[in-house]
Every structure is written in C-alpha cells, then in structure tokens.
Chains A and B, each alone.
Chain A
C-alpha cells in the first residue's frame, strides 16, 4: 500500500503540491487526473524517491520513503516499474539491451534465461523480433510498449504510468490501455496512472483522484466521480461525454 500524507512541494515560486493526501490500495489501478504541468508526474517521482517533497510523508508497504538511505531506496525501487511519458529508452542500447539491463544487474537469471525473460516481457506487450532494433528506429507506440516491457521485466509489485497514452493515436492508445489491463490481470500489480486523458482513465481505472491546484479535490470510483456536483470534477465528466 502507498500512502501520501500532507505533501508540500515547490519549485522556486511555483507551489505544485499544497497538502497532498492519497492512499493507493493493493492491486487497484488508481488514475490521477489533472491538468498538464500541474505536478502529477512529480508525485510519481516522489513516490520512488527521484524527487524529495519539501515536507510530508510517503510510505510504501509501511516504509517511509522520504527518510530512506540510498541503498534502501534502491531496494525499494525494485518493487516498482515506471513507464515514463516519452518511454525514456536508453538510446545507445538496442531494445533487447534496454530490457536486459536491469535483469543482468538485479536478478539471479542465468545468461540463457535472460534472453528468454526478454522474450517473455516483449510477448506480454505484444512485440516480436524487435530486440535488435535501436529505439530511434521504432514508432512512439512501440517505444511505449518497450518501456512497458522494461518496466515489467523484474516483475514489479507496483507500476507507475506517466501519461501512457499521450501523443499516441486513438488506436495505439487503446492498445496500450488494453495492455495495462492485461498486465494488471496477469501480474496482479498495483498501478498509479497519471493522465489527462479521461477516455483512457475510465478504461483502465478502478478509482480516480482529481488533482487541482496542488491537491486532490476528489478521490473515488467512476460512479462517485459521475455523481459529483463539484464544477472542477464536472469538467472531466463532461469532456468524457463529448468524447
């Protein structure tokens, strides 16, 4: 379980988080909805200690992240898979090497098993015969899939998705949504998805948290979201209806 309590974070004069509280339950997919540039991605990075909050508490499985030593933080990060907005594939490595990297460093797999594991991860994201390709020679949708394969290669307990469908066409975005649902069923992961795409959110989410002006103004199920009278929440529901 991931719990954020009273998180404050500023970048210079910009106060991006002003008392954020959030609970993510085991095996659920929580979707964080909010405007672009509002600080949603920063939240994900704070959960795995890539960024530090100015104040507040973040616990993962009961362990406080904000005060963890570096080695402990590295162990904690192995519980997470992170799909970055632009996939963040290492562009000096092939697709296969991108996925192998963490396996070689952090797993007990033998050399022969590593390539099998890479194949398995690629099959999960519906990609075949792409191990030898360089990231620069594959499409945006494929990059996201490879990023996903890399994130799940070590079988994480938690998945963090940062705008998984942004910049993709509808068909490819639907493919990624389907994939995220399949991974949830197959691997039983707990997921946090940051997006401003309401359509994707309702396809993949169990619960939803609306992030506005540095804090969550509502957290609840799809039904709770739809029945809310809050005009900020209604904006999202109405945009879904338009879709």
Chain B
C-alpha cells in the first residue's frame, strides 16, 4: 500500500475518503443510469410483460388507496384549520377554500403522498427485489433467458408512472373534501363560502402541475427502489440496509425534485 510522507496510510487521509466517496457516488449513478437506459431501449418488450405491469399497478395503486385516503383527509383538514387560524378577522372566510385548494393541488397532496409512498411502495419494492437477489431468483430468471430488467424493473416503474398521478388526483379530491369538512366542523366556515373560495381560485395549471409532479415522483420512487433492490449484496442484512437506503434516498430526491420542479415550472 502507498504511504504518505508521514508514514500513515493514504486510506486514512481525508482526501482519500473524499475520493472514495466520490468514486462510489459516480459508480452508483452510472449503474443507475445504465439500468435506466437499458429499460428505455427495451421498452418495446414491456408488452410481453403486460401481466406484470397489471400486477404492479394493483400493488402500487389499489393497495395504496387506504393510506392515500387517510393522509389526504388529514392534510385537507389541517390545512383548512391552520389557514383559518392564521387569517385576520377582516379577511373574508372564502379565502380558506382558496388556500386549501391551492396548497393541496400545488404542494401538499403530491409531496406528502409521495413521501408516504416512498416508505410504503419504495420499501416494498426494494425488499422484494433484494430478497429475489439474495435467494438467486434473479439469477434463475436470467438462467431461464429472461431479461430481469424488462421483467422486474420496467413493469414496476411503468406502474409507478401511471398510478402515482391517479393516486394524487384522488388524493387531491379527498384532501379538498377533508378541508371542507375541517373548515366547517372546526373553524365554523360555511360550506358555501369554502366552495366559493375554491371556485374563485381554481386554475387548471395548478392541477396539471400536481400531476406532472406525481409522474416525476412515481418515476423517482420506483426506479430508485428497484435499482437498490436489484443490486443488493450481503444476505438479509443487505436487504435491510438497502430498504432503509431506499426510504432515505427517495425521500431526499423527492424533496429536491419538488423544489426544482417548482422553480422551473411555476
């Protein structure tokens, strides 16, 4: 091993650590991008695995409906109550409907549902693919002349891209209804006033922006979780580590992308 002038090994040198971390980051990014590129190049094979896509749409979409209802309802109610609390007495109460609608469509529902699904969907995908990796099921697929990326990753990512917008549109509706309930039951704002504020502030672009975010978040969460599951090493401990990394990395990427999309599109 090379030695520094002081006789200490280079591996303890801070620059060595920075170098290793940078190399690992670019290796990670390179592999992630090469899997993404492979997936895009072989997208035409996706129709052969349409059954897998349907299964994943059920897993990501249908199975997430209860948690989406729960989160969205409370997001709407909290937004309504807090908006009402923050308003001065001389501001018309209809503003609460406008605030809830804008906040929910533009930010709260897409972001919070994405963060919740990063935990639920992302962790499930990584654990599933990671277990398949450590029990040689992915090797078995390859040995049977299947392309594991087209068979395992593409259906999950496509299902994420299709189902996240649907879940978020659904979440938007539930959150607005929750907001309406919260506003009337807790803050004493009449439903008519809430609806009037909602109508006056509604812009189609707000909803479209939320859907664009949903597509991006769907892609980020499913692709990262698939990738981290696909490359698992080290048995069940490796699966646990990859699952935790998925939750952390997808959540961080979602909030960063949230800022980038808002900066670029709004």
Contact = CB atoms under 8 A, between A and B. Distances in A.
B265 interface: no
Interface string A75-105: 1011010101110111110000000011001
Interface string A97-141: 000011001100000000000000000000000000000000000
B147 A77 contact: no
B144 A77 contact: yes
B136 interface: yes
A201 to B, nearest CB: 22
Contacts of A82: 139-140, 143
B228 to A, nearest CB: 19
B91 interface: no
> What is the size category of the interface that chain A forms with chain B?
20 to 34
A45 B140 CA distance: 10
A92 B135 CA distance: 13
Interface residues of B, number: 16
Nearest to A45: B139
A91 to B, nearest CB: 7
A180 to B, nearest CB: 17
Interface string A55-93: 000000000000000100011011010101110111110
Contact of B140 (A70, A78, A88, A106): A88
A50 B145 contact: no
B144 to A, nearest CB: 4
Given A86-B135, A88-B135, A48 B143 contact: yes
Contacts of B85: none
A88 B136 CA distance: 5
Interface string A183-207: 0000000000000000000000000
Most buried by A among B135, B142, B143: B143
B142 A88 contact: no
B137 interface: yes
A215 B205 CA distance: 67
B26 interface: no
Contacts of A86: 135-136
Contacts of A50: 139, 142-143
Contact of A90 (B140, B143, B145, B147): B140
Contact of B145 (A84, A91, A92, A102): A102
Nearest to B49: A105
Nearest to A78: B145
Contacts of A91: 131, 135, 137
Contacts of B131: 91
B105 to A, nearest CB: 37
B145 A106 contact: yes
Contacts of B135: 86, 88, 91
Interface string B125-153: 00010011001110111111111000000
A88 B145 contact: no
Contacts of B144: 77, 101-102, 105-106, 150
A234 B80 CA distance: 81
Question: Max chain A CB contacts within 10 Å: which of B132, B140, B141, B146?
Answer: B140
Nearest to B42: A70
A36 B244 CA distance: 31
Given A85-B136, A86-B135, A105 B143 contact: no
Contact of A74 (B128, B136, B140, B147): B147
A80 B144 CA distance: 8
B135 to A, nearest CB: 6
A114 to B, nearest CB: 15
Contacts of A101: 144, 146
Which of B131, B144, B145 has most chain A Cβ within 10 Å? B144
9 contacts: A50-B139, A70-B147, A78-B145, A82-B139, A84-B139, A89-B137, A90-B132, A105-B144, A106-B145
Interface of A: 45, 48, 50, 70, 74-75, 77-78, 80, 82, 84-86, 88-92, 101-102, 105-106, 150
Given A88-B137, A89-B137, A91-B135, 6 more contacts: A77-B142, A86-B136, A88-B135, A90-B140, A105-B144, A106-B144
